[in-house]
Chain A
Amino acid sequence: MAAKDAPPRWDRKMQQRLARGEAAALGELYDRFSSLVHGLAHRVLSDERAADGITREVFVHLWENPESYDPKQGPLRSWVAALTHRLAVQRLRATETAALARSGEGTSEDLERKVRQASVAARADYIVQAMPAPLRAALELAYFQRRDYRQTATDLGVTEDEARRRLRLGLQLLATAHDTRPSGAPPEYGGAV
């Protein structure tokens, strides 16, 4: 809830508190981001224990290297999501590569396709979570509740024009999950809030 609307001030303070070695800050950090981190890792890896492992890695990284996050570069939430995504995709590629070497079944193209699919699915999840609530609500009605755009407009109390606009904009944002960025690009996650 409030997590998404937190002002950048929270991010800055958190970074300072972590740098100061405040254990209570670590707990708050976990409480705010653990479900995001675990959810994304699970979307990529489809494995509970592996997702637990990534969760541990992400928080250890931030606790040991609080200065690696620079509040000026963007929200902590996006940064944490990007870090999670990177670590989870790395782990998926490593386990899949090992499996490929072991069994000899499949090709490296299959592997890359699988990694890419998992990566896109996780990014899509994040985009949906991070998009403005009105867009998410419109998509929710039209897709999950199978309302047409006129009903969606009525349900949301907006014009039909606006309902169409929200559906299109929401999907446009979601479509950016397919965009690939050069590897090694600075942590930036879907350009999202």
Chain B
Amino acid sequence: MTGGTSPFDAYDDDPEDRSGGTGGDAGGDPGAPGDSGTPGGPQAPTGPTGPTGPDGDDPGGPPRIPLPRSSVEDTGLPLPHPTTAPVPPTPPPPPPAPLVLEHRVLKALLGAWALAACSAEEALAVEEHLGTCGSCADEARRLREAVGLLHPAESLDLAPSLRTQVLETCLGRRPPRVPVPRWAAPYDAEAARLDALLQDIGDADWHTPVRLRWFEGGGPVSRRTTVAGVIAHLLTVDGLVATALGLDDPLDGLEPHPDDGTPTARTEAYWKASHFPPTRAVRAPWREQSHNIVRTTAFTGGGADDSDTSGRPAVSYCAFELPLRDALLDRAFECWIHAEDIAEAVDYPYEPPSGRHLHGMIDLAARMLPLSLAERRRTGLASPPRRHLAAAGAPGRSLRLEIEGSGGGEWLIPLDSPAGVGSAAHEVAHVALDGVEFCRLTAGHVPPQEAAAGQNGDRQAIQDVLFAAAALSRM
């Protein structure tokens, strides 16, 4: 089958090209009325709804096939009993007339026949016809064989690690001229993982309720949305990175405009602006934007190394700013956490990120803890520092955060000032947590009081840090 005239092209645009044009239909012979010498010949094949002309079909017109006659079995009348019927006083009821259809109609039925999707009478008529019509018999055999090729699509989940392996093999064979910066890899990987999940879920799943949970001030809060609503949320907040990179803002032209540029305000504005709840249609723009973000970091990010070259745009979250590389780590983290929200809602398994990527996310959270702590102090939610005005860059009281499992490590969190430097010599407390548990804590999915943490040392400092971790979360 070749390009221009293939049925793929002809489809849809060309309503006139009905049943013809696919080959095999030798000239649409209008089935001579007398071409079947089958019983009942004279009264066939026209009826009240019979064919009106060779090709005078209009799509909305009457069906070309006479409606199947009801057989005597369906009438409730006694069946004629040929052997016991003596000389009837009245003429016998006519035998049930077999359906007689013209060649063209029978040919059009072949697909339905091959799929056993026509009535018994029609099937019988087709089968009788096949005995006398070579071209239909050939096609019938071909279509029957084709039915054997149909089978349910098996949904094979591709292991996310395969993506990493394949890409690494490729890049090893031919080093890229425009590499993706290493710090953009977690975002790239998490978006791909979420997209694979989205590909697997059904249309209805997109409307499954999801409760977004996070931690604000003193306790947990939540907001109800749907799977599609979550993707809309990711789209709008990823939009902060997109705009910092000079890409289009998904909120452009939105009415009403968000109150401010916080992730929450942007999300609420996006949700409000659509007349209908978001559908799976939101997947494509989200994915396109995430691809564009990765692509653009490759051009603006300045190489694959981890050096933080200046001049790279910072991403504004309204209340704070993050350097691009941290913002992308943050978005990777959010992508994973919300993918988990979705997976849980639609009852799919979902794994944590790879250890390498998880480590970057944990490191970002650890680096942000002192700021979160300071913010909670400022609002009276955490205990005051012990030593006021610890000199910037000077070692101060510290908490050792030990993260276990894949992606783990140790961090010394300065307790008294965001500008301070963690110091083992000034360690006052030690907390040990599993990496995924720590991430769920910073996502606000695990209350700080319940975080399964091994602790040792200054209890107040530990509590402050765990709450500060939870306070890193947002919608």
Q: Using a CB–CB distance below 8 Å, which chain A residues touch chain B?
A: 1-2, 20-28, 30-31, 34-35, 38-39, 42, 48, 52, 55-56, 59-60, 63-64, 74, 120-121, 124-125, 128-132, 134-135, 139, 142-144, 146-149, 152, 159-178, 190-193
Cβ contact within 8 Å between B284 and A170: no
Cβ contact within 8 Å between B115 and A143: yes
Cβ contact within 8 Å between B117 and A74: no
Total A-B contacts with CB atoms under 8 angstroms apart = 209
Choice from B65, B139, B167 contacting A26 with Cβ under 8 Å = B167
> Measured between alpha carbons, how far is A135 from B8 in the docked complex, in Å?
10
Main secondary structure of the interface of A (DSSP, over half): helix
Q: Does any Cβ of A come within 8 Å of B298's Cβ?
A: yes
> Measured between alpha carbons, how far is A22 from B177 in the docked complex, in Å?
6
Q: Please indicate the chain B residues that have their CB under 8 angstroms from the CB of A42 in the complex.
A: 154, 156
A-B contact pairs, 8 of them (CB 8 A): A27-B291, A42-B156, A56-B169, A124-B146, A130-B8, A162-B59, A172-B111, A172-B139
Choice from A1, A63, A173, A193 contacting B173 with Cβ under 8 Å = A63
- A-facing residues in B364-411 (Cβ within 8 Å): none
> Measured between alpha carbons, how far is A26 from B294 in the docked complex, in Å?
11
Choice from B59, B64, B112, B163 contacting A34 with Cβ under 8 Å = B163
> Measured between alpha carbons, how far is A64 from B64 in the docked complex, in Å?
57
Choice from A30, A34, A160, A166 contacting B63 with Cβ under 8 Å = A160
B interface residue count range (under 10 / 10 to 19 / 20 to 34 / 35 or more):
35 or more
Choice from B115, B176, B287 contacting A167 with Cβ under 8 Å = B115
> Measured between alpha carbons, how far is A131 from B2 in the docked complex, in Å?
14
Cβ contact within 8 Å between B1 and A190: yes
> Measured between alpha carbons, how far is A191 from B146 in the docked complex, in Å?
17
Cβ contact within 8 Å between B112 and A164: yes
Q: Which 5 A-B pairs have the closest CB atoms?
A: A168-B111, A191-B1, A21-B177, A167-B111, A124-B149
Most buried by B among A24, A38, A152, A172: A24
Given contacts A31-B291, A191-B2, contact A22 B176 (CB under 8 A): yes
Cβ contact within 8 Å between A170 and B111: yes
**B141-154: contact bitstring with A at CB < 8 Å (1 yes, 0 no)?**
01101110110111
Q: Does any Cβ of A come within 8 Å of B359's Cβ?
A: no
Closest to B15 in A: A162
Cβ contact within 8 Å between A31 and B195: yes
